[in-house]
Amino acid sequence: ASDLISAEKSRLDGLLFLIKHLLTLREQIAPFDADFVYNQQSLDFNSTRAAALGAS
């Protein structure tokens, strides 16, 4: 929608539209106290594989 407004009016109008809607979205999700941190975890099964195969 921002690109459409930028094409029909001006780039500034398109950016202001985008900022307005991002701020509205932020206000709407604030009550949920969402934590948007992505924690990446991995498992290492090398020792389990070695134990299963009888290697030391």
How far is it, in rounded angstroms, from Cα 22 to Cα 13? 14
In a domain, 28, yes or no: yes
Domain extent at residue 15: 1-35
How far is it, in rounded angstroms, from Cα 37 to Cα 54? 40
In a domain, 54, yes or no: no
In a domain, 12, yes or no: yes
Q: Is the pLDDT of residue 56 over 60?
A: no
**Domain total in the chain:** 1
In a domain, 45, yes or no: no
Asked if 14 and 5 count as a contact pair (C-beta separation under 8 A), the reply is: yes
**Model confidence over 19-54: pLDDT tens digits?**
999 999 988 887 776 666 777 888 888 887 777 787
- What is the arithmetic mean of pLDDT over 6-24? 90
Q: Is the pLDDT of residue 11 over 60?
A: yes
